[in-house]
Amino acid sequence: MKKIVFCLLLTGASYAQSTPKISSYKYGYNGMELIASCKKGTVIVSTFNAKKQIKEEIAEKVYSLFVANKIRNNISITIEGKEAHVTGKCKILKKGTLTTVNFYYEKIFWFSGLTEIYRKTIG
């Protein structure tokens, strides 16, 4: 009897740990993260709805992907970071030799198991 109860408790505990947690957030950090000069001109990378602890790393990866021509305008992409994977959209604007790459966070998949989804505030 004790073995059956122990097995049931063990099975319940393993199931409880495997369920992912999903949360939403309404406020993030917005602003310019990176300004770089390259052969084509000046590139400004900005992030919107970002989480403070990963915004600089993600901005650097956005720039690397932009330089490698792996980002398309208004297409959803996933960027892999050290603490989380971030899914979002890039909007690329060009004016003369100035290019702005704006990355809008949509979902953050933290390695701790938490998934955060950005929700716009109304009003």
What integer is the mean pLDDT of 31-53?
93
Percent of the chain beyond pLDDT 70? 82
Q: Is the pLDDT of residue 61 over 90?
A: yes
Q: Which residues pair with 31 in a beta bridge?
A: 47
Q: Is the pLDDT of residue 8 over 50?
A: no
When the pLDDT of each residue in the chain is averaged and rounded to a whole number, the result is 87
Q: Label residue 40 by pLDDT band (50, 70, 90).
A: confident
Q: 0.95 exceeded by the pTM?
A: no
Percent of the chain beyond pLDDT 90? 76
Q: Where are the domains of the chain?
A: 21-118
Look at the alpha carbons of 109, 55, 30, 91 in this order and tell me if their dihedral is positive or negative: negative
Instruction: Locate 4 and state its tokens.
Output: 């059956």
Strands (E), the chain: 21-25, 29-38, 41-50, 76-80, 84-95, 98-110, 114-118
Q: Residue 116's pLDDT is what?
A: 95
Higher pLDDT, 18 or 36: 36
Q: Is the pLDDT of residue 9 over 60?
A: no
Higher pLDDT, 84 or 11: 84
